[in-house]
Structure 1
Amino acid sequence: MLIVRRGELIAAGYEPDEIRQRLRSGELVKVRPGAYVGDALPRAPEQRHRLTVRAAVPDLAAETVISHVSAAVMWNVPTWGIALDRVHGTRPRRSGARRGRAVHLHAAPLEPHEVAVVDGIAVTSPARTVVDIARSVPFEQAVVLADRALHSGLVHADDLAAALASAAHRPGSPAARRALHFADGRSESVGESRSRTAIAAAGLPVPVLQWDVRTQAGTWLGRADFGWPERGAVGEFDGRIKYSRELHPHVEAGDVVFAEKRREDALRDAGLRVVRWIWSDLDDFTSTADRLRRALGIPTSGARTPR
Protein backbone atom coordinates (compact mmCIF):
# COMPACT_ATOMS: atom_id res chain seq x y z
CA MET A 1 0.00 0.00 0.00
CA LEU A 2 1.55 3.27 -1.15
CA ILE A 3 2.00 5.97 1.49
CA VAL A 4 1.75 9.56 0.30
CA ARG A 5 3.15 12.34 2.48
CA ARG A 6 1.67 15.80 2.85
CA GLY A 7 4.87 17.44 1.61
CA GLU A 8 4.76 15.36 -1.56
CA LEU A 9 1.18 16.43 -2.23
CA ILE A 10 2.03 20.10 -1.67
CA ALA A 11 5.05 19.76 -3.96
CA ALA A 12 2.77 18.22 -6.61
CA GLY A 13 0.59 21.33 -6.54
CA TYR A 14 -2.20 20.36 -4.11
CA GLU A 15 -3.50 23.12 -1.85
CA PRO A 16 -4.12 22.38 1.86
CA ASP A 17 -7.86 22.80 1.28
CA GLU A 18 -7.75 20.18 -1.47
CA ILE A 19 -5.98 17.73 0.83
CA ARG A 20 -8.59 18.28 3.52
CA GLN A 21 -11.38 17.77 0.99
CA ARG A 22 -9.83 14.50 -0.20
CA LEU A 23 -9.61 13.33 3.42
CA ARG A 24 -13.29 14.19 3.98
CA SER A 25 -14.35 12.37 0.81
CA GLY A 26 -12.29 9.28 1.59
CA GLU A 27 -10.00 9.65 -1.43
CA LEU A 28 -7.22 9.91 1.11
CA VAL A 29 -7.09 8.08 4.47
CA LYS A 30 -4.81 9.31 7.24
CA VAL A 31 -2.30 6.78 8.55
CA ARG A 32 -0.68 9.30 10.91
CA PRO A 33 -0.33 13.09 10.78
CA GLY A 34 1.07 14.06 7.40
CA ALA A 35 0.94 10.56 5.92
CA TYR A 36 -1.93 9.14 3.88
CA VAL A 37 -2.98 6.23 1.69
CA GLY A 38 -5.49 6.14 -1.13
CA ASP A 39 -7.43 3.16 0.19
CA ALA A 40 -9.08 1.88 3.36
CA LEU A 41 -6.73 0.91 6.17
CA PRO A 42 -6.15 -2.83 6.71
CA ARG A 43 -8.59 -4.43 9.16
CA ALA A 44 -6.00 -6.58 10.95
CA PRO A 45 -4.37 -4.59 13.79
CA GLU A 46 -0.88 -5.92 12.97
CA GLN A 47 -1.22 -4.91 9.32
CA ARG A 48 -2.41 -1.43 10.31
CA HIS A 49 0.50 -1.09 12.72
CA ARG A 50 2.99 -2.18 10.07
CA LEU A 51 1.63 0.56 7.83
CA THR A 52 1.93 3.07 10.67
CA VAL A 53 5.55 2.05 11.22
CA ARG A 54 6.33 2.65 7.55
CA ALA A 55 4.66 6.05 7.74
CA ALA A 56 6.52 7.02 10.92
CA VAL A 57 10.07 6.03 9.92
CA PRO A 58 10.81 9.15 7.80
CA ASP A 59 9.91 11.35 10.79
CA LEU A 60 12.30 9.56 13.17
CA ALA A 61 15.96 10.38 13.69
CA ALA A 62 18.23 8.42 11.34
CA GLU A 63 19.76 6.48 14.23
CA THR A 64 16.39 5.15 15.41
CA VAL A 65 15.85 1.41 15.12
CA ILE A 66 12.26 0.09 15.17
CA SER A 67 11.94 -2.08 18.26
CA HIS A 68 9.71 -3.80 20.82
CA VAL A 69 6.19 -4.62 19.61
CA SER A 70 6.69 -2.66 16.38
CA ALA A 71 9.68 -4.84 15.51
CA ALA A 72 7.64 -7.96 16.33
CA VAL A 73 5.00 -6.81 13.85
CA MET A 74 7.69 -6.24 11.22
CA TRP A 75 8.94 -9.79 11.86
CA ASN A 76 5.34 -11.10 11.54
CA VAL A 77 5.23 -12.48 15.07
CA PRO A 78 1.70 -12.50 16.59
CA THR A 79 1.43 -9.91 19.35
CA TRP A 80 -1.54 -11.18 21.35
CA GLY A 81 -2.58 -8.86 24.20
CA ILE A 82 0.09 -6.21 23.52
CA ALA A 83 -1.02 -2.66 22.73
CA LEU A 84 -0.31 -1.40 19.21
CA ASP A 85 -1.19 2.21 19.93
CA ARG A 86 2.35 3.56 19.52
CA VAL A 87 5.27 3.02 17.17
CA HIS A 88 8.26 1.85 19.21
CA GLY A 89 11.84 2.71 18.35
CA THR A 90 15.18 2.51 20.14
CA ARG A 91 18.00 5.02 19.87
CA PRO A 92 21.50 3.73 20.73
CA ARG A 93 22.13 6.01 23.67
CA ARG A 94 21.85 5.74 27.44
CA SER A 95 19.36 8.58 27.94
CA GLY A 96 16.75 10.54 26.04
CA ALA A 97 13.86 8.11 26.08
CA ARG A 98 10.44 9.67 25.65
CA ARG A 99 6.87 8.49 25.26
CA GLY A 100 4.50 10.49 23.10
CA ARG A 101 0.94 9.94 21.93
CA ALA A 102 2.01 8.15 18.76
CA VAL A 103 5.67 7.21 19.25
CA HIS A 104 7.52 5.61 22.16
CA LEU A 105 11.28 6.15 21.88
CA HIS A 106 13.52 3.98 24.03
CA ALA A 107 17.16 4.70 24.80
CA ALA A 108 19.47 1.70 25.14
CA PRO A 109 22.75 0.36 23.75
CA LEU A 110 22.42 -1.56 20.47
CA GLU A 111 25.11 -3.89 19.20
CA PRO A 112 25.52 -4.32 15.41
CA HIS A 113 24.28 -7.93 15.57
CA GLU A 114 21.11 -6.72 17.32
CA VAL A 115 19.98 -4.74 14.25
CA ALA A 116 18.55 -6.14 11.02
CA VAL A 117 16.69 -4.76 8.01
CA VAL A 118 13.12 -5.77 7.15
CA ASP A 119 11.46 -4.25 4.08
CA GLY A 120 14.14 -1.57 4.01
CA ILE A 121 13.55 -0.58 7.67
CA ALA A 122 16.10 -0.99 10.46
CA VAL A 123 14.59 -3.16 13.20
CA THR A 124 15.93 -4.96 16.23
CA SER A 125 16.92 -8.59 15.68
CA PRO A 126 14.33 -11.27 16.51
CA ALA A 127 16.06 -12.29 19.76
CA ARG A 128 16.55 -8.69 20.92
CA THR A 129 12.91 -7.95 20.02
CA VAL A 130 11.54 -10.87 22.05
CA VAL A 131 13.68 -10.01 25.07
CA ASP A 132 12.79 -6.30 24.94
CA ILE A 133 9.09 -7.15 24.88
CA ALA A 134 9.41 -9.79 27.61
CA ARG A 135 11.00 -7.15 29.85
CA SER A 136 8.00 -4.86 29.53
CA VAL A 137 4.78 -6.91 29.25
CA PRO A 138 2.97 -9.36 31.57
CA PHE A 139 4.09 -13.00 31.76
CA GLU A 140 1.28 -14.43 29.63
CA GLN A 141 1.78 -12.02 26.73
CA ALA A 142 5.55 -12.57 26.84
CA VAL A 143 5.13 -16.36 26.74
CA VAL A 144 2.70 -16.20 23.82
CA LEU A 145 5.09 -14.06 21.78
CA ALA A 146 8.19 -16.12 22.65
CA ASP A 147 6.39 -19.39 21.89
CA ARG A 148 5.34 -18.11 18.47
CA ALA A 149 8.83 -16.84 17.65
CA LEU A 150 10.35 -20.19 18.66
CA HIS A 151 7.69 -22.26 16.87
CA SER A 152 8.18 -20.37 13.61
CA GLY A 153 11.94 -20.85 13.73
CA LEU A 154 12.51 -17.10 13.77
CA VAL A 155 14.60 -17.51 16.93
CA HIS A 156 16.26 -20.39 18.72
CA ALA A 157 16.66 -20.99 22.43
CA ASP A 158 20.40 -20.19 22.25
CA ASP A 159 19.64 -16.83 20.62
CA LEU A 160 17.25 -15.93 23.43
CA ALA A 161 19.73 -17.04 26.10
CA ALA A 162 22.42 -14.79 24.60
CA ALA A 163 20.00 -11.84 24.34
CA LEU A 164 18.91 -12.38 27.95
CA ALA A 165 22.53 -12.34 29.08
CA SER A 166 23.08 -9.03 27.26
CA ALA A 167 20.00 -7.53 28.95
CA ALA A 168 20.90 -8.81 32.43
CA HIS A 169 21.15 -5.35 34.00
CA ARG A 170 18.26 -3.68 32.18
CA PRO A 171 14.89 -3.02 33.83
CA GLY A 172 12.53 -5.97 33.64
CA SER A 173 15.22 -8.57 32.93
CA PRO A 174 14.13 -10.92 35.79
CA ALA A 175 10.58 -10.98 34.39
CA ALA A 176 11.94 -11.65 30.91
CA ARG A 177 14.05 -14.50 32.24
CA ARG A 178 11.04 -16.17 33.88
CA ALA A 179 8.91 -15.88 30.75
CA LEU A 180 11.57 -17.06 28.33
CA HIS A 181 12.60 -20.00 30.48
CA PHE A 182 8.95 -21.05 30.40
CA ALA A 183 8.62 -20.51 26.62
CA ASP A 184 8.33 -23.60 24.44
CA GLY A 185 8.23 -23.67 20.65
CA ARG A 186 6.13 -26.84 20.67
CA SER A 187 3.07 -24.72 21.45
CA GLU A 188 1.33 -24.43 18.11
CA SER A 189 -1.05 -21.53 18.72
CA VAL A 190 -1.79 -18.55 20.90
CA GLY A 191 -4.49 -20.59 22.63
CA GLU A 192 -2.09 -23.40 23.47
CA SER A 193 0.45 -20.93 24.87
CA ARG A 194 -2.21 -19.28 27.02
CA SER A 195 -3.37 -22.73 28.13
CA ARG A 196 0.14 -23.60 29.29
CA THR A 197 0.35 -20.48 31.44
CA ALA A 198 -3.10 -21.23 32.90
CA ILE A 199 -2.15 -24.84 33.67
CA ALA A 200 1.02 -23.68 35.41
CA ALA A 201 -0.79 -20.95 37.35
CA ALA A 202 -3.30 -23.53 38.59
CA GLY A 203 -0.46 -25.59 40.04
CA LEU A 204 -1.22 -28.59 37.83
CA PRO A 205 1.47 -31.09 36.80
CA VAL A 206 3.54 -30.10 33.78
CA PRO A 207 2.04 -31.74 30.68
CA VAL A 208 3.76 -33.35 27.73
CA LEU A 209 3.21 -31.08 24.73
CA GLN A 210 2.03 -32.53 21.42
CA TRP A 211 1.88 -36.03 22.88
CA ASP A 212 1.72 -38.78 20.26
CA VAL A 213 -0.67 -41.34 21.72
CA ARG A 214 -0.13 -44.97 20.75
CA THR A 215 -1.64 -48.29 21.77
CA GLN A 216 0.48 -50.89 23.54
CA ALA A 217 0.93 -52.51 20.14
CA GLY A 218 2.35 -49.24 18.78
CA THR A 219 -0.65 -48.14 16.71
CA TRP A 220 -0.82 -44.36 16.50
CA LEU A 221 -4.14 -43.01 17.79
CA GLY A 222 -3.57 -39.30 17.49
CA ARG A 223 -1.73 -36.35 18.93
CA ALA A 224 -2.93 -34.48 22.00
CA ASP A 225 -2.17 -30.83 22.72
CA PHE A 226 -1.39 -31.72 26.34
CA GLY A 227 -0.74 -35.14 27.78
CA TRP A 228 -0.23 -36.65 31.22
CA PRO A 229 0.71 -40.22 30.18
CA GLU A 230 1.36 -41.48 33.70
CA ARG A 231 -2.10 -40.25 34.78
CA GLY A 232 -4.00 -41.43 31.72
CA ALA A 233 -5.33 -38.01 30.73
CA VAL A 234 -5.10 -35.56 27.86
CA GLY A 235 -6.08 -31.91 27.49
CA GLU A 236 -7.22 -30.24 24.30
CA PHE A 237 -7.52 -26.55 23.52
CA ASP A 238 -10.48 -26.41 21.17
CA GLY A 239 -9.80 -23.29 19.11
CA ARG A 240 -12.09 -22.85 16.09
CA ILE A 241 -9.00 -22.49 13.90
CA LYS A 242 -8.63 -26.28 14.11
CA TYR A 243 -11.68 -26.63 11.90
CA SER A 244 -11.26 -23.64 9.61
CA ARG A 245 -10.25 -23.46 5.97
CA GLU A 246 -7.10 -21.63 7.03
CA LEU A 247 -5.68 -25.01 8.04
CA HIS A 248 -7.81 -27.23 5.78
CA PRO A 249 -8.36 -25.29 2.53
CA HIS A 250 -9.42 -28.34 0.50
CA VAL A 251 -11.53 -30.14 3.10
CA GLU A 252 -15.10 -29.46 4.19
CA ALA A 253 -15.36 -28.18 7.77
CA GLY A 254 -17.82 -30.94 8.66
CA ASP A 255 -15.32 -33.59 7.59
CA VAL A 256 -12.65 -32.02 9.79
CA VAL A 257 -14.99 -31.97 12.79
CA PHE A 258 -15.95 -35.62 12.16
CA ALA A 259 -12.28 -36.65 11.95
CA GLU A 260 -11.59 -34.80 15.19
CA LYS A 261 -14.47 -36.62 16.89
CA ARG A 262 -13.15 -39.99 15.71
CA ARG A 263 -9.71 -39.09 17.05
CA GLU A 264 -11.18 -38.22 20.46
CA ASP A 265 -13.26 -41.42 20.49
CA ALA A 266 -10.08 -43.40 19.85
CA LEU A 267 -8.35 -41.69 22.76
CA ARG A 268 -11.28 -42.44 25.06
CA ASP A 269 -11.45 -46.05 23.84
CA ALA A 270 -7.79 -46.36 24.86
CA GLY A 271 -8.83 -45.53 28.41
CA LEU A 272 -7.68 -41.91 28.41
CA ARG A 273 -9.72 -39.18 30.06
CA VAL A 274 -10.10 -36.19 27.71
CA VAL A 275 -10.67 -32.63 28.92
CA ARG A 276 -11.46 -29.89 26.39
CA TRP A 277 -11.65 -26.14 26.78
CA ILE A 278 -12.26 -23.14 24.53
CA TRP A 279 -11.16 -19.51 24.26
CA SER A 280 -13.62 -18.17 26.83
CA ASP A 281 -12.36 -20.70 29.41
CA LEU A 282 -8.91 -19.14 29.28
CA ASP A 283 -10.21 -15.88 30.77
CA ASP A 284 -11.21 -17.74 33.94
CA PHE A 285 -9.56 -21.16 34.08
CA THR A 286 -10.96 -22.15 37.49
CA SER A 287 -13.62 -24.63 36.35
CA THR A 288 -11.35 -26.07 33.65
CA ALA A 289 -8.57 -26.53 36.20
CA ASP A 290 -11.02 -28.43 38.42
CA ARG A 291 -12.02 -30.68 35.51
CA LEU A 292 -8.35 -31.35 34.82
CA ARG A 293 -7.73 -32.18 38.48
CA ARG A 294 -10.53 -34.73 38.42
CA ALA A 295 -9.17 -36.25 35.21
CA LEU A 296 -5.70 -36.37 36.74
CA GLY A 297 -6.93 -37.85 40.00
CA ILE A 298 -5.92 -34.80 42.03
CA PRO A 299 -8.15 -33.66 44.94
CA THR A 300 -9.85 -30.35 44.19
CA SER A 301 -10.28 -29.24 47.80
CA GLY A 302 -7.87 -26.47 48.65
CA ALA A 303 -6.68 -26.32 45.07
CA ARG A 304 -4.63 -23.36 43.96
CA THR A 305 -6.65 -20.69 42.20
CA PRO A 306 -5.41 -19.81 38.70
CA ARG A 307 -4.13 -16.25 38.39
Structure 2
Amino acid sequence: MLQLNIKNETSRLRAVVLGSAVNNGPTPNENEAYDPKSLEHILAGTYPKEADMIPEMAAFNAVFEKYDVTVFRPEMIENYNQIFARDIGFVIDDVFVKSNILPDRERELEAIEFVLNQIDPLKVVRPPEEVHIEGGDVMLWNDYIFIGTYKGSDYKEYITARTNWQGVQYIKKLFPNKIIKEFDLVKSKIEARDNALHLDCCFQPVGTNKGIIYKSGFREEADYMFLVQLFGKENLFHITRDEMYHMNSNVFSIAPNVVVSERNFTRLNNWLRQNDFVVEEIPYGEIAKQEGLLRCSTLPLIRD
Protein backbone atom coordinates (compact mmCIF):
# COMPACT_ATOMS: atom_id res chain seq x y z
CA MET A 1 0.00 0.00 0.00
CA LEU A 2 1.07 3.56 -0.62
CA GLN A 3 1.08 5.59 2.59
CA LEU A 4 0.28 9.04 1.24
CA ASN A 5 1.81 12.06 2.98
CA ILE A 6 1.86 15.61 1.64
CA LYS A 7 1.95 18.52 4.09
CA ASN A 8 3.73 21.19 2.05
CA GLU A 9 5.31 21.92 -1.32
CA THR A 10 8.98 21.44 -0.49
CA SER A 11 9.70 18.54 1.91
CA ARG A 12 11.83 15.68 0.58
CA LEU A 13 9.90 13.95 -2.20
CA ARG A 14 9.65 10.13 -2.14
CA ALA A 15 6.91 9.27 -4.68
CA VAL A 16 5.28 11.19 -7.52
CA VAL A 17 3.13 10.75 -10.62
CA LEU A 18 4.83 12.38 -13.61
CA GLY A 19 2.70 12.99 -16.70
CA SER A 20 3.60 11.70 -20.15
CA ALA A 21 4.02 13.24 -23.59
CA VAL A 22 4.03 9.89 -25.42
CA ASN A 23 1.37 9.56 -28.14
CA ASN A 24 0.26 13.09 -27.36
CA GLY A 25 -1.99 13.41 -30.39
CA PRO A 26 -2.15 16.00 -33.17
CA THR A 27 -2.03 19.75 -32.69
CA PRO A 28 -5.50 20.82 -31.51
CA ASN A 29 -7.48 23.24 -33.62
CA GLU A 30 -8.19 26.68 -32.21
CA ASN A 31 -11.65 25.71 -30.93
CA GLU A 32 -10.10 22.95 -28.82
CA ALA A 33 -7.64 25.16 -26.92
CA TYR A 34 -8.16 25.11 -23.15
CA ASP A 35 -6.19 28.30 -22.47
CA PRO A 36 -5.00 31.48 -24.28
CA LYS A 37 -1.34 30.44 -24.43
CA SER A 38 -2.03 27.21 -26.29
CA LEU A 39 -4.31 29.18 -28.61
CA GLU A 40 -1.54 31.69 -29.30
CA HIS A 41 0.83 28.90 -30.36
CA ILE A 42 -1.81 27.04 -32.38
CA LEU A 43 -2.48 30.21 -34.39
CA ALA A 44 1.23 30.99 -34.78
CA GLY A 45 2.10 27.47 -35.95
CA THR A 46 4.51 27.06 -33.01
CA TYR A 47 2.46 24.57 -30.96
CA PRO A 48 4.85 22.01 -29.42
CA LYS A 49 5.49 18.69 -31.13
CA GLU A 50 5.56 15.35 -29.36
CA ALA A 51 9.13 14.73 -30.54
CA ASP A 52 10.26 17.86 -28.70
CA MET A 53 8.26 17.29 -25.53
CA ILE A 54 9.23 13.67 -24.86
CA PRO A 55 12.91 14.56 -24.24
CA GLU A 56 11.87 17.40 -21.92
CA MET A 57 9.85 15.03 -19.76
CA ALA A 58 12.67 12.47 -19.90
CA ALA A 59 15.03 15.11 -18.52
CA PHE A 60 12.61 15.73 -15.65
CA ASN A 61 12.36 12.00 -14.98
CA ALA A 62 16.16 11.75 -14.92
CA VAL A 63 16.30 14.31 -12.10
CA PHE A 64 13.83 12.22 -10.09
CA GLU A 65 16.00 9.15 -10.67
CA LYS A 66 19.07 11.06 -9.49
CA TYR A 67 17.31 11.81 -6.19
CA ASP A 68 15.93 8.29 -5.84
CA VAL A 69 12.26 9.29 -6.11
CA THR A 70 9.69 6.60 -7.01
CA VAL A 71 8.03 7.74 -10.24
CA PHE A 72 4.69 6.51 -11.58
CA ARG A 73 3.73 7.28 -15.18
CA PRO A 74 0.14 7.18 -16.46
CA GLU A 75 -0.91 4.35 -18.75
CA MET A 76 -0.83 5.55 -22.33
CA ILE A 77 -4.03 6.74 -23.97
CA GLU A 78 -3.59 6.97 -27.73
CA ASN A 79 -3.57 10.44 -29.27
CA TYR A 80 -4.15 12.15 -25.96
CA ASN A 81 -2.46 14.85 -23.91
CA GLN A 82 -1.44 13.38 -20.55
CA ILE A 83 1.27 15.84 -19.59
CA PHE A 84 -0.41 17.76 -16.79
CA ALA A 85 -0.92 15.22 -14.01
CA ARG A 86 -1.42 18.00 -11.44
CA ASP A 87 -4.88 18.82 -12.80
CA ILE A 88 -6.44 15.43 -12.25
CA GLY A 89 -5.96 15.07 -8.51
CA PHE A 90 -3.97 16.09 -5.46
CA VAL A 91 -2.96 14.79 -2.05
CA ILE A 92 -3.58 16.64 1.23
CA ASP A 93 -2.04 14.90 4.25
CA ASP A 94 -2.94 11.23 3.53
CA VAL A 95 -6.03 11.83 1.38
CA PHE A 96 -6.15 11.64 -2.42
CA VAL A 97 -8.74 14.02 -3.87
CA LYS A 98 -9.87 13.27 -7.43
CA SER A 99 -10.53 16.48 -9.34
CA ASN A 100 -13.74 17.17 -11.20
CA ILE A 101 -11.86 18.24 -14.28
CA LEU A 102 -13.10 19.39 -17.66
CA PRO A 103 -15.23 16.43 -18.83
CA ASP A 104 -13.00 15.82 -21.87
CA ARG A 105 -10.15 14.92 -19.51
CA GLU A 106 -11.83 12.24 -17.39
CA ARG A 107 -9.80 9.51 -19.09
CA GLU A 108 -6.62 10.91 -17.55
CA LEU A 109 -7.82 9.77 -14.12
CA GLU A 110 -8.48 6.28 -15.44
CA ALA A 111 -4.87 6.15 -16.68
CA ILE A 112 -3.58 6.34 -13.08
CA GLU A 113 -6.12 3.88 -11.68
CA PHE A 114 -3.27 1.40 -11.06
CA VAL A 115 -1.74 3.94 -8.65
CA LEU A 116 -5.05 4.67 -6.89
CA ASN A 117 -5.53 0.93 -6.40
CA GLN A 118 -2.44 0.97 -4.16
CA ILE A 119 -4.06 3.49 -1.78
CA ASP A 120 -6.48 2.68 1.04
CA PRO A 121 -9.87 3.22 -0.68
CA LEU A 122 -11.13 5.11 2.39
CA LYS A 123 -8.43 7.68 1.65
CA VAL A 124 -9.57 8.37 -1.92
CA VAL A 125 -12.38 10.91 -2.26
CA ARG A 126 -14.32 12.45 -5.11
CA PRO A 127 -16.11 15.78 -4.59
CA PRO A 128 -19.74 16.16 -5.72
CA GLU A 129 -20.34 17.32 -9.27
CA GLU A 130 -20.87 21.02 -8.56
CA VAL A 131 -17.45 21.24 -6.91
CA HIS A 132 -14.73 22.35 -9.33
CA ILE A 133 -11.17 22.15 -8.06
CA GLU A 134 -7.85 21.35 -9.76
CA GLY A 135 -4.48 20.50 -8.27
CA GLY A 136 -2.79 23.57 -9.73
CA ASP A 137 -4.99 25.72 -7.50
CA VAL A 138 -4.26 23.78 -4.29
CA MET A 139 -1.06 24.51 -2.43
CA LEU A 140 -0.13 23.12 0.99
CA TRP A 141 1.92 25.10 3.45
CA ASN A 142 1.96 23.14 6.71
CA ASP A 143 -1.04 24.49 8.68
CA TYR A 144 -2.31 26.37 5.63
CA ILE A 145 -4.04 25.27 2.47
CA PHE A 146 -3.85 27.99 -0.19
CA ILE A 147 -6.51 27.73 -2.91
CA GLY A 148 -6.67 29.74 -6.13
CA THR A 149 -10.17 30.56 -7.33
CA TYR A 150 -12.11 33.05 -9.40
CA LYS A 151 -14.91 35.02 -7.78
CA GLY A 152 -16.17 36.91 -10.82
CA SER A 153 -19.90 36.59 -11.54
CA ASP A 154 -18.92 35.44 -15.05
CA TYR A 155 -17.15 32.30 -13.73
CA LYS A 156 -19.10 29.98 -16.04
CA GLU A 157 -17.92 31.83 -19.14
CA TYR A 158 -14.26 31.22 -18.37
CA ILE A 159 -12.73 27.90 -19.35
CA THR A 160 -9.64 29.31 -17.61
CA ALA A 161 -11.53 29.52 -14.27
CA ARG A 162 -10.85 26.06 -12.83
CA THR A 163 -11.74 26.19 -9.13
CA ASN A 164 -15.04 27.61 -7.85
CA TRP A 165 -16.19 28.74 -4.38
CA GLN A 166 -17.83 25.32 -3.87
CA GLY A 167 -14.34 23.84 -4.29
CA VAL A 168 -13.02 26.06 -1.50
CA GLN A 169 -15.95 25.11 0.79
CA TYR A 170 -15.43 21.42 0.07
CA ILE A 171 -11.80 21.52 1.21
CA LYS A 172 -12.78 23.53 4.31
CA LYS A 173 -15.21 20.77 5.31
CA LEU A 174 -12.78 17.97 4.51
CA PHE A 175 -9.90 19.52 6.49
CA PRO A 176 -11.44 21.43 9.41
CA ASN A 177 -8.10 21.65 11.25
CA LYS A 178 -6.34 23.50 8.43
CA ILE A 179 -6.32 27.24 7.82
CA ILE A 180 -7.88 27.66 4.37
CA LYS A 181 -6.95 30.82 2.48
CA GLU A 182 -8.42 31.41 -0.97
CA PHE A 183 -6.95 33.77 -3.57
CA ASP A 184 -9.02 35.47 -6.25
CA LEU A 185 -6.98 35.15 -9.46
CA VAL A 186 -6.88 37.29 -12.58
CA LYS A 187 -8.30 35.42 -15.60
CA SER A 188 -8.22 36.11 -19.32
CA LYS A 189 -9.51 34.02 -22.21
CA ILE A 190 -7.51 35.97 -24.77
CA GLU A 191 -4.23 37.26 -23.27
CA ALA A 192 -1.95 34.66 -21.68
CA ARG A 193 0.13 37.40 -20.06
CA ASP A 194 -2.90 38.36 -17.99
CA ASN A 195 -4.19 34.89 -17.17
CA ALA A 196 -3.31 33.14 -13.93
CA LEU A 197 -4.72 29.75 -14.97
CA HIS A 198 -3.98 28.28 -11.53
CA LEU A 199 -2.50 29.61 -8.29
CA ASP A 200 0.88 28.08 -9.20
CA CYS A 201 0.99 30.40 -12.22
CA CYS A 202 1.48 33.39 -9.92
CA PHE A 203 2.81 32.01 -6.63
CA GLN A 204 4.75 29.06 -5.21
CA PRO A 205 6.70 28.52 -2.00
CA VAL A 206 10.30 27.29 -2.15
CA GLY A 207 12.51 26.11 0.70
CA THR A 208 11.21 26.60 4.23
CA ASN A 209 10.32 30.30 4.17
CA LYS A 210 10.66 31.68 0.64
CA GLY A 211 8.45 32.00 -2.40
CA ILE A 212 8.09 33.17 -6.00
CA ILE A 213 5.27 35.63 -6.62
CA TYR A 214 3.61 37.69 -9.36
CA LYS A 215 1.73 40.57 -7.76
CA SER A 216 -0.58 41.28 -10.71
CA GLY A 217 -1.88 37.70 -10.75
CA PHE A 218 -4.14 38.52 -7.80
CA ARG A 219 -7.41 40.40 -8.35
CA GLU A 220 -7.29 41.73 -4.78
CA GLU A 221 -4.19 43.46 -3.42
CA ALA A 222 -5.15 42.15 0.04
CA ASP A 223 -4.53 38.57 -1.15
CA TYR A 224 -1.05 39.52 -2.34
CA MET A 225 -0.38 41.39 0.93
CA PHE A 226 -1.43 38.32 2.92
CA LEU A 227 1.46 36.37 1.36
CA VAL A 228 3.90 39.28 1.79
CA GLN A 229 3.06 39.37 5.50
CA LEU A 230 3.22 35.58 5.88
CA PHE A 231 6.55 35.09 4.10
CA GLY A 232 8.17 38.53 4.49
CA LYS A 233 8.81 40.72 1.46
CA GLU A 234 12.56 40.04 1.56
CA ASN A 235 11.84 36.31 1.16
CA LEU A 236 9.72 36.67 -1.98
CA PHE A 237 11.15 36.73 -5.49
CA HIS A 238 8.90 39.03 -7.54
CA ILE A 239 8.55 38.02 -11.18
CA THR A 240 7.61 40.29 -14.08
CA ARG A 241 4.59 39.96 -16.38
CA ASP A 242 6.83 38.35 -18.99
CA GLU A 243 8.37 35.94 -16.49
CA MET A 244 4.86 35.00 -15.36
CA TYR A 245 3.96 34.33 -18.99
CA HIS A 246 6.97 31.99 -19.24
CA MET A 247 5.80 30.27 -16.03
CA ASN A 248 8.70 31.20 -13.71
CA SER A 249 6.60 30.44 -10.61
CA ASN A 250 5.87 26.91 -11.84
CA VAL A 251 9.10 25.25 -10.74
CA PHE A 252 9.09 22.08 -8.60
CA SER A 253 10.78 21.28 -5.28
CA ILE A 254 12.29 17.84 -4.65
CA ALA A 255 13.59 18.88 -1.22
CA PRO A 256 13.74 22.07 0.87
CA ASN A 257 17.06 22.93 -0.80
CA VAL A 258 16.54 21.35 -4.26
CA VAL A 259 14.45 23.01 -6.98
CA VAL A 260 13.91 21.78 -10.55
CA SER A 261 13.70 24.81 -12.85
CA GLU A 262 13.63 25.64 -16.54
CA ARG A 263 17.14 26.35 -17.83
CA ASN A 264 16.13 29.71 -19.36
CA PHE A 265 14.87 31.19 -16.08
CA THR A 266 18.19 32.99 -15.63
CA ARG A 267 17.15 35.66 -13.15
CA LEU A 268 15.17 33.25 -10.97
CA ASN A 269 17.83 30.52 -11.04
CA ASN A 270 20.51 33.02 -10.00
CA TRP A 271 18.36 34.18 -7.09
CA LEU A 272 17.75 30.58 -6.02
CA ARG A 273 21.48 29.82 -6.05
CA GLN A 274 22.25 33.01 -4.13
CA ASN A 275 19.83 31.70 -1.50
CA ASP A 276 21.67 28.35 -1.26
CA PHE A 277 19.32 26.24 -3.35
CA VAL A 278 20.59 23.48 -5.60
CA VAL A 279 18.97 24.25 -8.96
CA GLU A 280 18.45 21.33 -11.31
CA GLU A 281 18.04 23.05 -14.69
CA ILE A 282 16.24 21.22 -17.49
CA PRO A 283 14.78 22.24 -20.87
CA TYR A 284 11.01 22.63 -20.61
CA GLY A 285 10.29 25.48 -23.00
CA GLU A 286 8.17 23.46 -25.46
CA ILE A 287 5.83 22.12 -22.80
CA ALA A 288 5.52 25.67 -21.42
CA LYS A 289 3.68 26.67 -24.60
CA GLN A 290 0.61 24.87 -23.23
CA GLU A 291 0.42 27.15 -20.20
CA GLY A 292 1.83 24.56 -17.82
CA LEU A 293 5.30 23.75 -16.55
CA LEU A 294 7.10 21.63 -13.97
CA ARG A 295 4.66 21.73 -11.05
CA CYS A 296 1.76 21.14 -13.47
CA SER A 297 3.39 17.94 -14.76
CA THR A 298 3.65 16.33 -11.32
CA LEU A 299 1.28 14.85 -8.77
CA PRO A 300 3.24 14.31 -5.54
CA LEU A 301 2.11 11.36 -3.41
CA ILE A 302 4.65 11.09 -0.61
CA ARG A 303 7.01 13.58 0.98
CA ASP A 304 8.93 13.04 4.23
TM-score with structure 2 setting the length: 0.29
Q: Which has the higher contact order (CA 8 A, sep 6+)?
A: 2
Structure label with greater radius of gyration: 1
